[in-house]
Structures are given as C-alpha cells and as structure tokens.
Amino acid sequence: MEDAVAIHPSFCRREHETATEFHYFGVYDGHGCSHVAMKCKDRLHELVKEELEKTEATTEWKIAMERSFNRMDKEVIAWNKTALGPNCRCELQTPECDAVGSTAVVAIVTPDKIIVANCGDSRAVLCRTGKAIPLSNDHKPDRPDELSRIQAAGGRVIYWDGPRVLGVLAMSRAIGDNYLKPYVNCEPEVTVTDRTPEDDCLILASDGLWDVVSNETACGVARMCLRGKAPPCAAESNQSSEEEREAGGGGEMVGKACWDASMLLTKLALARRSTDNVSVVVVDLRRDT
C-alpha cells in the first residue's frame, strides 16, 4: 500500500478574516515506495498554510498552491538523499531513491470556494445536483498538451503497457521522481470553483478507483450514502477512519455518512478488480447539515 490520505479540518485562518476557516483534504498515490506519499501527508498541508498566510488576497490561490507543491518537491528530493533508513525497500532500486514519487490531489474548502490543486493522475470530482463535475484533469503522458510538453523538453512517451514517460512512469506530473525531470514536473493545475446550495459532496481518490468506476457512478454512490439510502459499510476502526469521521463537518451522523461513502466506493473498486491501491475521501458540502 503506497497511498496516503490527509484530512485537516480548520487547518488555516487568515488573520484579517478570523471568522473564515479553511479545510484541507488530500490524496497521495505513491509509486516506487510509500515514503514520498507519506512525506506529502505529513508536510504538504503545512506548506500550503505557510503560503496562504503570506498572501493577502484569496485571488492568489494558484500562486500559493504552485509554491507549496514546488517546496514539497524540493523537500522530498533533499530528504530522499539524506534521511531514509537502511530498511526502505526502494533503496533496492536506486541508492538515492530518485525513482520514487507521488501524485497529489489537494482540495481546500472555504465557506464559498473549492480550490483543487492536482499533480498526477489522482482526481477530484464535485457532485452537484447529482451530476459529476471534474475539478481536475488527469496528467497522463498521452494527454495532447502533456505529450507536447514532454517532447519539447527532449523526452519521449513510450507505450509499454500503456503510455509512459521514457517507458517508465504512467503519469506526466508528480512530486519526486528526480530521475525523470524535467519531463515529469511537480507543477499543479489549480481550479477555483464557487460553492452553491446545490453541491452534494466532493470526492478525492487515487486512480485505483477511477480506473474502474466512472465519475457519474462514484457521485451516485456517494449521494446515496449521504441521503441515507445505501447499506451500512462494516469497517475496522483505525486512525484514518477517525480522522474522516471528524472531518464530516456536520456531526457524527454526517461523518459516518462520508465514511460509509468512501468505504463503499473502495469496496466497489475492489469488487470490479481494480489492480491498484484505492484511497477515497468524501467531503459533505451540503449547507443544511
């Protein structure tokens, strides 16, 4: 398991907007080993908070997120070379772990906005009036603009069990992966979406879900859970489940509904024989909860 999930309710407040709380949600899909994803889980929200506190206007979301991802990338590369223990299995691949990286799809939820920053092929989808609205665009090597960027930098996309950068990595952007730079970069694409009373929920997930479950199906399942029409999901209690329940935003029942939705989507992906790690976060956006 190389995925990691981060949930930080009320992780940031602006000094001049004391009544405004920002909530942070992130999914990180590691490859090569889990330590880059875990480092993102531990640090990226702190970097985002620092960058947001530097800005004076909420119109600077793109700049703040780009700086945060760039700082995270530099930290990971430096940390890979100095801080890893002798038992990390990725050291069997390269002495300095340059072949390790992670996707990062991050959502900041404010009272009136949803800000999504994405780097890699994890995905954020908004469910509004039952319809699926993608808030990120997967970074695949054969995406026309990504293919052009890679080729302009002197790289190649080779088809080896699907399109891969230099025949190795099946995504065109990621945090880490120092050996594939500049063809694979860490620059996130950022979207800012106004919240509306029709918003049901936000789904963040690694590609283990999206490989076998469509945006529309995922939204339908999550919406049923939030409306109490889906069967309860049995799951072992662990730290991740407690964090997700606390992040529900509307009390214990809302938190449980989000937990049930994420578990049901995970089980659906596994039932459909997803061959990748599956991590799902569901955020209730309904204003009457």
pLDDT per residue rounded down to tens, the chain (289 residues): 899 999 999 888 765 555 678 999 999 999 988 989 999 999 999 999 999 988 765 568 999 999 999 999 999 988 776 655 445 655 545 545 678 999 999 999 999 999 999 999 999 999 999 999 999 999 999 999 999 999 999 999 999 989 999 999 999 999 999 999 999 999 999 999 999 999 999 999 999 999 999 999 999 999 999 988 655 443 322 233 333 333 333 344 447 889 999 999 999 999 999 999 999 999 999 976 4
* Residue-level length of the chain: 289
pLDDT score at 151? 97
Bridging pattern class, strands 17-31 and 3-14: antiparallel
Cα R_g (the chain), whole angstroms: 18
Question: Which positions ≥6 away from 45 have C-beta within 8 Å?
Answer: 6, 8, 11, 24, 26, 106
Q: Where are the domains of the chain?
A: 3-139+174-281
Task: Indicate left, alpha or beta for 166 from its phi (over 0: left) and psi (-120 to 50: alpha).
Answer: left
Look at residue 253 in the predicted model and tell me its pLDDT.
Answer: 43
4 contacts 104 by C-beta, under 8 angstroms: no
The pair phi, psi for residue 92, each rounded to 5°, is: -70, -20
Contact between 259 and 251 under an 8 Å Cβ cutoff? The reply is no
Predicted structure pTM score: 0.87
Taking alpha carbons only, the member of 168, 164, 171, 253 closest to residue 207 is: 171
CATH architecture, domain 3-139+174-281: 4-Layer Sandwich (3.60)
Round to whole Å and give the CA distance between 88 and 91.
6
What confidence score (pLDDT) does residue 60 get? 86
Task: Return the pLDDT at 41.
Answer: 97
| Cα distance between residue 115 and residue 26, in whole Å | 12
